[in-house]
Structure 1
Amino acid sequence: MNLSLLKELFASFVRSRGLGRHFRRLVMLDSVASTTVSREVPPALAQTLVAAAQSDPDALLQQLGSHPEGLTEAQVEQLRERVGPNVIEQDKPVPWWLHLWRCYKTPFDLLLTLLAVISYLTEDMKATIVIGSMVVLSVAIRFWQERKSHVAADKLKAMVSNTATVMRRSFGQDVVNTAATYFDVQLHVKPPRRVEVPMAELVPGDIVLLSAGDMIPADCRILSAKDLFVSQAAMTGESLPVEKFATLRSTDVGNPLELENIVFMGTNVVSGSATAVVVHTGGRTYFGALAQRVTATSQAPTQFQAGVNKVAWLLIRFMFVMSPLVLLINGFTKGNWTEAFLFAMSIAVGLTPEMLPMIVTSTLAKGAVLLSRQKVIVKRLDAIQNFGAMDVLCTDKTGTLTQDKIFLARHIDVWGEESDDVLEMAYLNSYYQTGLKNLLDVAVLEHTEVHKQLNPAANYRKVDEIPFDFQRRRMSVVVSEREDHHLLICKGAVEEILSICNRVRHGEQDEPLTPELLERVRAVTADLNEDGLRVVAVACKEEPPQKDSYGVADEQGLTLIGYVAFLDPPKESTAPALKALAAHGVKVKVLTGDNDLVTAKICREVGLAAGAIVLGAAIEGMDDAELARVVEAHDVFAKLTPAHKDRIVRQLKRNGHVVGFMGDGINDAPALRSADIGISVDTAVDIAKEAADIILLEKSLLVLEEGVVEGRKTFANMLKYIKMTASSNFGNVFSVLVASAFIPFLPMLPMHLLVQNLLYDFSQTAIPFDNVDEELVKDPQRWNPADIGRFMLFFGPVSSVFDIVTFAVMWFVFGANSAEHQTLFQSGWFVEGLMTQTLVVHMIRTRKIPFLQSRPAPLLLATTAAIMAIGIFLPMGPLAHYFKLQPLPLAYFPILGLILLGYMLLTQAMKGFYARRFGWQ
């Protein structure tokens, strides 16, 4: 054996083991250093795609360390170790500790932690435990609920598994083939085999076999193709598939998506077949680059987050003003600055609605549980309140308003009359075609009665087929009904069929296609289009039986026999769902890439006033000011690209709306992320589900309407707590300021304030489960810090009026007017203050008369009653000494009853005045 043979055998061995170029480079940058590329993706990625498109196939395979018959298992394993799995890194799962931190870092939780630390340093362990418990509970509930939702969403994604067909060859095959050639002997090795592997296991250099219906598993260079049409709609928004070839016909290409011999991960094969080599996998694909751009864009704070933060800082600023004021007044009037400081700290704790994080979280968690029973997975708890605040819902048409299932609505002749002949011809065409049967073919083939009548297997023989392509927009089959002639049946787009017809069928006769008849044909099809139907023309001609092979040139001189018209009908639930959303103040806007005539028909059928439909081409020429007016004046937008959808959503938000967006494609991800609430479905692509806040297990607007109502209930209950706490706490501080200025001792000890605060807070833990008045869920609801501040100023002093009455009663009636009798004074105010604070829960939870016109939830009634009982028990029972309280005289309680009755009457009167002046919510 000579030296050259040894070198060749060794080189083959190295290639078969993948030990060559894979260890030096996996990308080809050297040949395209000066190539002009798109700026939409990293230049290096675009350059490698252009390089792969321009390379000779053999050279490309060599650069990738591959082979026309595929990689060996050993090569695949080595490559997978280097490049990782073929998966898209979307938003990486957040580590539990980082998720916990995000749940914790709210203004209130941080403030409460500071107060807990100060309480600990001042050896006030009771306050430390109380405040710390509030923080731990609120953070734990939010963390647990959101974690559970993320796990459910991950399980949804894990349910979807796709495979790819690849070529695998045996180890040492190159060596054996080279030796057999050199020695001219027959050596047998296992032939390359086709293997179905999970898409995640693909590596660069894999040879992939593609056919109609396949998803493209990675960015690939086509090596061979036959009638290959690929839908890139998920990537580019193009409505029509594009044809791909094995060769690059144009070398002056700037956008990688325009490369004719490159196919991209996330797209799918519509028709034809191909063999391709994998160039990029996972995050190095074009899809991966787009996904990284989407996930790298941080979401702007939603309306809910911004509103909560504004309210939080309003109350915090109020606390920072009032606490120092209390400190100074008590320090100067009492002379004991240490005691004054502890009292001011207690005021700070009392002013802070420490239950807000827990009330908000538990209310949202309750909403998430209720929605999960409606087949809705809530990924972010804040999204529930955004549901309630949403006043504009942007949605697509197909599958949301419609059934996403095509039905054959009509089969008519050229004159618009029903015709069984047309249906039979269309059936034979769909039955015998071998390409991917689209939804229109499936709708035709569902007419099984035609199959029984025609019995194609017994009465017809297929002769040939002229496949569909998107230049001709038609396809033909040739069948032999009797051996004395062949029948060519062609169906396709109306204009394309008319271009090859010179006659029309009228009854049993064929007539020349005159200009007058052509006008009639176009009038009939236009009427069908205006009815929202997709029209496909059917034509035929007879050929002599001698011919066995047919081509595009034979599609001439046909006779137009009629049309089949299809409809994607609206869902039965769509119209009532739209009415329900409208009744709740939610405006639905349709954003679709579909035909404007079809869209208008569907909108009419579901009761949505389409008006003038705005097309994507018109949006291109609009500036932001004009678009701002257009999105307000119009509700239906058609023939949109992904960029149009995203721009419309952003403009609606700038106009002051809380916007929801419902989508399920790659091209919907930017709009999903831009919206206040992104809504997707379990069948959506992963990147859409990643960008969404809520995932529906059922694509229905009725589910959304239920979510809107649940969101508004959630908001109403949160607002109850904030209003009653803010006003009650403000009233307490106002009362403390009055008492501190005129009373020679502290009107209440720091311990009393903290215990009162704890009991009051506990009485409110049932608010998430409270009933909500119907009128509070009719309209969208938003945070309004100014309204909350005004509410505090109106309702806070109401309780202070009766606190001052209590001061007077304790001072003048019961003689608690000196430091020796301060415990009696403090006990009297402790009970009255707790009673009014607890009653305010029921007074402010509704605009109506409490207990009579609006009944609280039984759990809320039970907790408030229990707290009022405990409030009386503490000074009257055996624990009074421990809490530095003392029993009250029995004469105190009738007076207390009158004070509480007066408080309820004045609060109800103030509610009426306030609601008439400013509205209730």
Structure 2
Amino acid sequence: MLTTLKNGFVNFLRSRHWAEHFRRIPMLDQLAKAPADLRVPAALGDRLRSAALAAEAELLQGLNSAADGLDAAQVDAARAEAGWNTIAQDKPMSAGEHLWLCFRTPFNILLTLLAVVSWVTDDFKGTVVIGSMVLLSTVLRFWQEGRANKAAASLQAMVSNTATVLRRRVLDEGEPSDLRPTGFPTVPASLELPVRELVPGDIIKLSAGDMVPADCRLLQAKDLFLAQSAMTGESMPVEKFAQLQGADQSNPVDLDNIVFMGTNVVSGAGTALVVATGNITYLGALAGRATAMDRAPTAFQTGVNKVSWVLIRFMLVMVPLVFAINGFTKGDWTEALLFALSVAVGLTPEMLPMIVTATLAKGAVFLSRKQVIVKRLDAIQNFGAMDVLCTDKTGTLTQDKIFLARHLDAWGDESHHVLDMAYLNSYYQTGLKNLLDVAVLEHAELLEVVRNYAKVDEIPFDFVRRRMSVVVSDGGGHHILITKGAVDEILQVCTSVHAAGAVMPLDDSLRSRIVAVTEELNNQGLRVVAVATRESAASQQSYGVADEAGMELCGFVAFIDPPKESTAPALQALTQHGVHIKVLTGDNAAVTAKVCKEVGITEQAMMLGGDVERMDDAELARAVETHNIFAKLSPAHKERIVRMLKANGHVVGFLGDGINDAAALRAADIGISVDTAVDVAKEAADIILLEKSLMVLEQGVQEGRRTFANMLKYIKMTASSNFGNVFSVLVASAFIPFLPMLPLQLLVQNLVYDLSQTAIPFDHVDEELIARPQRWNPADIGRFMVFFGPISSVFDILTFVLMWKVFDANTPEKQTLFQSGWFVVGLLTQSLIVHMIRTARIPFIQSRAAWPVILMTLAVMAIGIFLPMGPLASHFKLEALPGSYFVYLVLIVLGYMGLTQVMKKWYIRRFGWQ
């Protein structure tokens, strides 16, 4: 039986399944790492191919839908059949599953094995005490995580992704009947609904920045490009069409008129029919297959795991030594086995999972009060470990409110014609309306201009061209192509200039004059967008990128993008706390430099996207260390810079809110976004800010470091205390003719000590410990254990001598007195080590623990004295100690604290203090 349990435990440890995440990995991240041969059921592939091949009218009829969407009754019927649009793996775990996850840590498994051994060997008291420790650890973790998960769920509900859906609504009485066709009681309405409310048959609108909310068949598409690397592993976006381009695709992801749940729109626009939701989507099918895959641990989990294995390896060496020495010296191998098992329990930091969870949960609660949503608990520790923060400029460092400052012709003179053209472009485009479009559309007086034109077509924005176009008809037999975008990209497609009432060919001298005008605007901190037009015959009905040629430059619209008031103090505070700031933006160099100077980044080393493009990885790895501003970047440039910084050993955060930031957000150790960000950015982020103030970043960094410091306190305390106890046991076992402490007494001592540790997550942290980024360092923990553990052994041995010589507890008949004396010293010194190791300062004088820690320490000390002196002593085979013992006890405790403080000062000078 024991052999079976042992083998099962070893296999369990090897599997690494115990290294569970505190939150399941986001499904897209998991699928991105899935093996290439992961396949969905054949039935799903057949269903998607049927939807791709079916005629539009046939498909609508089959889903009981229409071109203008579903009505309320049809939605209810579809939901009754298909359910909510959620994937099972995204649903919270049941209480039973969560309880099992909380139990199956390596330490709980080990303690359970030891409890079984105790039960088999008829040590029922030991079984009860060990079982209580397992129960305490499991229940506390279950309770703490439950609270954290509920808080996170309620906060995440505030930023759920939405979709633009066409639904038919019933006309209210009194509404004009000419709003709908004769005989129809409903009219189409465009609604913004939570993704989970979608049902098969819904008609949705897609534009740049949207996450695709379900598996859909495209009905209309205009230059529609999607990123679906989570499905295929392809890094480049793929173009999708309303009509199937080839009917012989065997792989469902190759169907170019089908878009899949979880992918995102990079550019373009489209209208799509939802054909599958929830678990029956392609993503849902992959999720079911992917749950069996091993999950790669995060950097945080890797650190916890390494520390855990340091302690486990130490235990696997020391426990057999204790068993062998006691067996040979005492001759009672059964008693030696029980004692060795008790030592193993004492060496097991069974509260580690609970302490880690409690400290992270406390951090999440703290940040939630600051209006910060923590999507992944271990992101809090990454927040504290971050030493480089890369940030986008627009909407993050600057306000999310951009103002249209000027509208000028090519010479820099005010021009209402330029504003009219810019307004028509922003009004009629259906893609991603950014803050610049919003600023233009605030000129509501220009609605009169719109009435003179009708939309014909549009060419959506993408991050390669960096421009977008609409085509309008003026009613006089002419079409006008209106293009706006980045100055350089607009000038590339212009051959003439309209200024001062005349049209002139665009030659080099005019180009230089125009560039000088835009540079002057940029130097004033204005963001400049160029506007160009071209007339064409009304016979042309469809337009594409190739039509953006031979255009006439009208002029510019210039925007002011003022920095947030909190940006400068937030960046200064982060810098003071050891976080280096790097700005990564797609904007031009002049505007970027002006804004960076306004927010306090005065020492500027700038690099442009073109330079990044030309560098190989080795050159870029050096450049990212010496430059702090990167301008005119593409999304791929941002991601590459983040990856280079990580490869250089940095813990990298990325703050962004746009579709062009999504790749960098995923690549960073900690992705940070805001609630006004596009869907794909919020999905990629680990932390979402609900407040506009950036000071919460500095608060989050400090809380992350407090969280880490408190976790490290427990590990250092436990490791050093355990090492000292085992060293003392080895000495006592070699020279004392009886056990220095009974197994039951060791277990009770450990249980009481564990209870005291539950207050650690609520402890204060010294300012110097949160002044710089902190990371896991298992080697340092091992060294700390070796240096500080033997200090307690010195005073344990003094206690042995005291009990042996002064109180004559030197025979098996007086072993109870000996064991009682060491029991009290051991429990008091273990409790006080908390205060000695929790700070690099002088405890109680320069740094005082939080009240919960102080109260727990006093409670443990009181219990330690009460157990041998009170009525329960006989139950634990203890006995009352003479009054003179407590005089020596005070001296031993004071000596222990003094020597620990001396060692601490020496250790800090030699190795520092993490």
TM interval, short-chain normalised:
0.7 to 0.9
CA distance in 1, matches of 2:103, 2:655: 30
CA distance in 2, matches of 1:40, 1:347: 47
Which residue of 1 is the match for residue 130 of structure 2? 131
Note if 1:572 corresponds to 2:568.
Answer: no
Higher mean C-alpha deviation, range 45-54 or range 332-341: 45-54
CA distance in 2, matches of 1:102, 1:574: 41
Which residue of 2 is the match for residue 613 of structure 1? 607
Asked if the contact 1:614/1:634 (under 8 Å) is kept, the reply is no
Note if 1:121 corresponds to 2:120.
Answer: yes
Which residue of 2 is the match for residue 103 of structure 1? 102
CA distance in 1, matches of 2:600, 2:157: 35
Which residue of 1 is the match for residue 854 of structure 2? 861
Which residue of 2 is the match for residue 366 of structure 1? 362
Counterparts in 2 of 1:560 and 1:886: CA distance versus 1, 3 Å: closer
Corresponding residue SS for 1:613: strand
Counterparts in 2 of 1:600 and 1:802: CA distance versus 1, 3 Å: same
Corresponding residue SS for 2:578: coil
Which residue of 2 is the match for residue 329 of structure 1? 325
Which residue of 1 is the match for residue 396 of structure 2? 400
1:834 to 821, 824, 827: 827
Counterparts in 2 of 1:606 and 1:885: CA distance versus 1, 3 Å: same
Question: Which stretches in structure 1 are left out of the alignment for 5+ residues?
Answer: 1-37, 170-187
Asked if the contact 2:423/2:441 (under 8 Å) is kept, the reply is no
Which residue of 1 is the match for residue 699 of structure 2? 706
CA distance in 2, matches of 1:591, 1:884: 68
CA distance in 1, matches of 2:532, 2:331: 104
CA positional deviation for 1:113: 1.8
CA positional deviation for 1:444: 3.1
Which residue of 2 is the match for residue 165 of structure 1? 166
Question: Which stretches in structure 2 are left out of the alignment for 5+ residues?
Answer: 1-35, 171-181
Aligned alpha-carbon RMSD (Å): 5.4
Which residue of 2 is the match for residue 354 of structure 1? 350
Which residue of 2 is the match for residue 312 of structure 1? 308
Q: TM-score, normalised by structure 2?
A: 0.76
| Aligned amino acid, residue 715 of structure 2 | I
Higher mean C-alpha deviation, range 769-778 or range 734-743: 734-743
CA distance in 2, matches of 1:531, 1:275: 41
CA distance in 2, matches of 1:445, 1:558: 24
CA positional deviation for 1:86: 5.5
Counterparts in 2 of 1:757 and 1:720: CA distance versus 1, 3 Å: same
CA distance in 2, matches of 1:682, 1:717: 30
1:906 to 890, 899, 906: 899
Which residue of 1 is the match for residue 879 of structure 2? 886
CA distance in 1, matches of 2:811, 2:208: 94
Which residue of 1 is the match for residue 752 of structure 2? 759
Corresponding residue SS for 2:406: strand
Asked if the contact 2:360/2:380 (under 8 Å) is kept, the reply is yes
Task: Note the 1:70-89 alignment, pairs <5 A.
Answer: none
CA distance in 2, matches of 1:667, 1:48: 33
Which residue of 1 is the match for residue 6 of structure 2? none
Corresponding residue SS for 1:657: coil
Deviations 1:300-331 (A, max 9, x none): 21222222222222222222222222222222
Task: Note the 1:108-257 alignment, pairs <5 A.
Answer: 108-155=107-154, 156-157=156-157, 162=163, 164-165=165-166, 194=188, 232=226
CA distance in 2, matches of 1:634, 1:160: 36
Asked if the contact 2:199/2:277 (under 8 Å) is kept, the reply is yes
Note if 1:744 corresponds to 2:734.
Answer: no
Which residue of 2 is the match for residue 523 of structure 1? 516
| Aligned amino acid, residue 839 of structure 2 | T
- Structure with higher Rg: it is 1
CA distance in 2, matches of 1:163, 1:713: 42
CA positional deviation for 1:909: 1.0
CA distance in 2, matches of 1:91, 1:667: 26
CA distance in 2, matches of 1:530, 1:234: 39
CA distance in 2, matches of 1:147, 1:316: 28
CA distance in 1, matches of 2:888, 2:84: 77
Note if 1:376 corresponds to 2:381.
Answer: no
Deviations 1:231-252 (A, max 9, x none): 7579999999999986679999
Asked if the contact 2:402/2:560 (under 8 Å) is kept, the reply is yes
CA positional deviation for 1:521: 1.6
| Aligned amino acid, residue 133 of structure 1 | S
Counterparts in 2 of 1:847 and 1:622: CA distance versus 1, 3 Å: same
Which residue of 1 is the match for residue 723 of structure 2? 730
Asked if the contact 1:497/1:538 (under 8 Å) is kept, the reply is no
CA distance in 2, matches of 1:642, 1:40: 28
Over the matched positions of the two proteins, sequence identity in percent amounts to 62
Which residue of 1 is the match for residue 769 of structure 2? 776
Asked if the contact 2:343/2:726 (under 8 Å) is kept, the reply is yes
Deviations 1:28-60 (A, max 9, x none): xxxxxxxxxx99998989998898778776787
Note if 1:388 corresponds to 2:384.
Answer: yes
CA positional deviation for 1:519: 2.7
Which residue of 2 is the match for residue 32 of structure 1? none
Deviations 1:709-750 (A, max 9, x none): 112112212222222222222222222222222222222223
Note if 1:462 corresponds to 2:452.
Answer: yes
Corresponding residue SS for 1:309: helix
Higher mean C-alpha deviation, range 368-377 or range 241-250: 241-250
| Aligned amino acid, residue 492 of structure 1 | K
CA distance in 2, matches of 1:753, 1:249: 74
Asked if the contact 1:210/1:269 (under 8 Å) is kept, the reply is no
| Aligned amino acid, residue 311 of structure 1 | V
CA distance in 1, matches of 2:600, 2:453: 49
CA positional deviation for 1:223: 5.6
Which residue of 2 is the match for residue 492 of structure 1? 484
Q: TM-score, normalised by structure 1?
A: 0.75
CA positional deviation for 1:371: 2.0
Asked if the contact 2:729/2:740 (under 8 Å) is kept, the reply is yes
CA distance in 1, matches of 2:335, 2:240: 83
Task: Note the 1:521-670 alignment, pairs <5 A.
Answer: 521-529=514-522, 533-537=526-530, 562-590=555-583, 602-608=595-601, 611-613=605-607, 615=609, 618=612, 622=616, 628-629=621-622, 631-635=624-628, 652-662=645-655
CA distance in 2, matches of 1:570, 1:697: 18
Counterparts in 2 of 1:870 and 1:287: CA distance versus 1, 3 Å: closer
Higher mean C-alpha deviation, range 228-237 or range 573-582: 228-237
Note if 1:848 corresponds to 2:847.
Answer: no
CA distance in 2, matches of 1:730, 1:241: 56
Asked if the contact 1:752/1:830 (under 8 Å) is kept, the reply is yes
Asked if the contact 2:642/2:664 (under 8 Å) is kept, the reply is yes
CA distance in 1, matches of 2:874, 2:86: 67
Deviations 1:644-673 (A, max 9, x none): 666655555454333445566788777666
CA positional deviation for 1:806: 2.3
CA positional deviation for 1:706: 1.9
CA distance in 1, matches of 2:450, 2:189: 36
| Aligned amino acid, residue 615 of structure 1 | G
Corresponding residue SS for 2:556: strand
Asked if the contact 2:531/2:557 (under 8 Å) is kept, the reply is yes
Counterparts in 2 of 1:428 and 1:838: CA distance versus 1, 3 Å: closer
Counterparts in 2 of 1:320 and 1:488: CA distance versus 1, 3 Å: closer
Asked if the contact 1:232/1:238 (under 8 Å) is kept, the reply is no
Counterparts in 2 of 1:667 and 1:297: CA distance versus 1, 3 Å: farther
CA distance in 2, matches of 1:657, 1:211: 35
Which residue of 2 is the match for residue 13 of structure 1? none
Counterparts in 2 of 1:709 and 1:74: CA distance versus 1, 3 Å: closer
CA distance in 1, matches of 2:204, 2:307: 57
- Between the two proteins, the alignment pairs up a number of residues equal to 846
Deviations 1:740-764 (A, max 9, x none): 2222222222333233333333333
| Aligned amino acid, residue 120 of structure 1 | W
CA distance in 2, matches of 1:697, 1:511: 49
